[in-house]
Chains A and B, each alone.
Chain A
Amino acid sequence: MTSGFFWLDTAIKVAVILGAMLTGALVVIFAELKIGAHMQNRPGPYYAGGRFGWAQPLADGAKFIQKEDLIPSAADSAVFKLAPYIVVAATIATFVVIPFGPDLVVRDLDLGVFYLLAISSLTTLGVLMAGWSSANKYSLMGGLRAAAQLIAYELPLVLAVVAVVVQAGTMSLNGIVAAQAEPIFTLGSTEVAVPFLLKGQILGFIIFTVAAVAELSRIPFDMPIAESELTMGYLTEYSGIRFTMFFLGEYLAMISLSAVAATLYLGGYWAPFIPGDALNFLGPGILLAKVAILVFIIIWIRWTWPRLREDQLQNLAWRWLIPLALLNIVLAGVFKVVF
């Protein structure tokens, strides 16, 4: 599959991933609209594109493109314009290390997990830039609150991942999947391997998922966006394409964090009883199925639960999740040494 010419290969891989993920984001937007609607006993989009309204996200995109591009006169123009692109770029950059198959990864870095967490925290920077440059008191407050929330939940995220790294022994995502594919016992002639979720990382999985939902600023953690001042927080002054970038960035991050969770805890592109060479074909499908389940759960939670207050949110992160994550690391280390 490789043409031997490194930059061409990388360019093709990046283009494929970009296209696939942007389409995926549109699919996730549509899924959120439809699933949310049916959970509320209403049909959701049904007009745009025929009976199921599948063209609704495209129609929304077209609508946003033709909107007027407003920049507040007091705003810091360069920072204001740059902020959405930083958020989207940081999110897309995380897809570089996510493996869709043993060879289907743009670049399998040895520091895969480290790179992932570092790049995805750049979104916090984008949020701060958006809040500050809008020259609006509520945007600034909203941006600061959002940044506080994102920083607070980075720590449990990172600590939960550390436990997985301890158990797998490597930071490369391909290596982590391979570590999960190693059989832990044999049953007759079949070797049985289980993903990390069942190998003692349940607490870690829960912490990671809660922290991921908070990183996405979704209900139940969307206080920055649904402020009681009743403006959109740091997003108030954005309109048109710039707003679409933030919007897309959120859904891309949803896919990205779900893919990371699936890779770290659920086995990624590996499934039991599938021989190694078929994984290159079936791998993307398996990973996407796991991502779909996690995305469904995130959407499900969004339409069911109310939101937490800001101080309760911070309470949860600092007083509960971080100690639990540290405990998780200790336990993972103990299991690794003892078993």
Chain B
Amino acid sequence: MAEYSTAKQRRIAFPFSGLYKGMWTTLKTLFQKTPTVFYPDMKEIPVPRARGVIALDPDACTVCMLCARECPDWCIYIEGHKEEVPPAKEGGRVRTRAKLDRFDIDYALCMYCGICVEVCPFDALFWSPDYEYSEYSIVGLLHDKERLTGWLATVPPPPAVES
């Protein structure tokens, strides 16, 4: 168990050397280079796992609605319908496939928790570290299916892991 704040440390003694040590520290920092990143001229590259925006692969989506159900904020709006697909083999029965009509994510509500990406069983949602999609009007924060598909190009490959 370490003991701190000794009497010597708490004492205020005449030459007030603590004050000058502080001044020396700021003087040294005065001549150091600033670590500021001058956004927007310079930009930091975010790490691959950073949760910036969610990208959608519409071909993989089967309208199972798991993401919309599991979202804590209920910010995913999905609509779909069933289509008939001709049988694969001659004489087989007609299959139905679900087709995605509407897939919107409302980023004004989204809390970037990642539960939707995690529960999707069909590899349709991905995280992308892109963060520059601010809007002047809140309506622009509702990303529809086309815009979400567009984010797919910004999804980076996953980083290699330590074992």
Chain A: residues with CB nearer than 8 A to chain B? 35, 37-43, 46, 300-301, 303-305
User: When the two chains form their complex, are residues A43 and B23 in contact, meaning their CB atoms are under 8 A apart?
Assistant: no
Given contacts A43-B34, A46-B38, contact A38 B22 (CB under 8 A): no
User: When the two chains form their complex, are residues A300 and B36 in contact, meaning their CB atoms are under 8 A apart?
Assistant: no
User: When the two chains form their complex, are residues A304 and B23 in contact, meaning their CB atoms are under 8 A apart?
Assistant: yes
Which of A41, A43, A46, A305 meets B29, CB within 8 Å? A41
- Which residues does chain B contribute within 8 Å of A46, judged by CB atoms? 38
In the complex, the chain B residue whose C-beta lies closest to that of A303 is B26
- Which residues does chain B contribute within 8 Å of A300, judged by CB atoms? 23, 26-27
User: When the two chains form their complex, are residues A301 and B23 in contact, meaning their CB atoms are under 8 A apart?
Assistant: yes
Given contacts A304-B22, A305-B22, contact A42 B30 (CB under 8 A): no
User: When the two chains form their complex, are residues B29 and A38 in contact, meaning their CB atoms are under 8 A apart?
Assistant: yes
User: When the two chains form their complex, are residues B38 and A39 in contact, meaning their CB atoms are under 8 A apart?
Assistant: no
- Which residues does chain A contribute within 8 Å of B29, judged by CB atoms? 38-41
In the complex, the chain A residue whose C-beta lies closest to that of B28 is A39
User: When the two chains form their complex, are residues B35 and A41 in contact, meaning their CB atoms are under 8 A apart?
Assistant: yes
Please provide the 9 A-B residue pairs with the shortest distance between their CB atoms, ordered closest to farther: A39-B26, A304-B26, A38-B30, A43-B34, A304-B22, A39-B30, A304-B23, A43-B36, A42-B34
Q: Which residues of B from 20 to 62 have beta carbons under 8 Å from A?
A: 22-23, 25-27, 29-32, 34-36, 38
The interface residues of chain A, by DSSP majority, are classed as helix
- Which residues does chain B contribute within 8 Å of A35, judged by CB atoms? 30
User: When the two chains form their complex, are residues A38 and B34 in contact, meaning their CB atoms are under 8 A apart?
Assistant: yes
- Which residues does chain B contribute within 8 Å of A305, judged by CB atoms? 19, 22
In the complex, the chain A residue whose C-beta lies closest to that of B22 is A304
In the complex, the chain B residue whose C-beta lies closest to that of A297 is B23
User: When the two chains form their complex, are residues A41 and B27 in contact, meaning their CB atoms are under 8 A apart?
Assistant: no
Minimum distance in angstroms from B5 CB to a CB of chain A: 18
The interface residues of chain B, by DSSP majority, are classed as helix
Provide the bound-state CA to CA distance between A40 and B30, in Å: 7
- Which residues does chain A contribute within 8 Å of B32, judged by CB atoms? 38, 41
Residue from A41, A43, A301 having most chain B Cβ neighbours under 10 A? A41
- Which residues does chain B contribute within 8 Å of A37, judged by CB atoms? 34
Provide the bound-state CA to CA distance between A37 and B32, in Å: 11
In the complex, the chain A residue whose C-beta lies closest to that of B18 is A305
Which of B19, B22, B34, B38 meets A41, CB within 8 Å? B34
Provide the bound-state CA to CA distance between A305 and B18, in Å: 10
Minimum distance in angstroms from A301 CB to a CB of chain B: 7
In the complex, the chain A residue whose C-beta lies closest to that of B24 is A304
Residue from A37, A42, A43, A304 having most chain B Cβ neighbours under 10 A? A304
Residue from B31, B32, B36 having most chain A Cβ neighbours under 10 A? B36
- Which residues does chain B contribute within 8 Å of A43, judged by CB atoms? 34, 36, 38
Provide the bound-state CA to CA distance between A39 and B22, in Å: 11
Provide the bound-state CA to CA distance between A43 and B19, in Å: 25
- Which residues does chain B contribute within 8 Å of A40, judged by CB atoms? 29
User: When the two chains form their complex, are residues A42 and B36 in contact, meaning their CB atoms are under 8 A apart?
Assistant: yes
- Which residues does chain A contribute within 8 Å of B38, judged by CB atoms? 43, 46
- Which residues does chain B contribute within 8 Å of A304, judged by CB atoms? 22-23, 25-26
Show 23 residue pairs from A and B whose CB-CB distance is below 8 angstroms, ordered by the A residue.
A35-B30, A37-B34, A38-B29, A38-B30, A38-B31, A38-B32, A38-B34, A39-B26, A40-B29, A41-B32, A42-B36, A43-B34, A43-B36, A43-B38, A46-B38, A300-B23, A300-B26, A300-B27, A303-B26, A304-B25, A304-B26, A305-B19, A305-B22
Provide the bound-state CA to CA distance between A41 and B26, in Å: 9
- Which residues does chain A contribute within 8 Å of B31, judged by CB atoms? 38
Provide the bound-state CA to CA distance between A301 and B31, in Å: 16
- Which residues does chain B contribute within 8 Å of A41, judged by CB atoms? 29, 32, 34-35
- Which residues does chain B contribute within 8 Å of A39, judged by CB atoms? 26-27, 29-30
- Which residues does chain A contribute within 8 Å of B35, judged by CB atoms? 41
Provide the bound-state CA to CA distance between A8 and B32, in Å: 50
- Which residues does chain A contribute within 8 Å of B25, judged by CB atoms? 304
Minimum distance in angstroms from A66 CB to a CB of chain B: 24
- Which residues does chain A contribute within 8 Å of B27, judged by CB atoms? 39, 300
- Which residues does chain A contribute within 8 Å of B30, judged by CB atoms? 35, 38-39
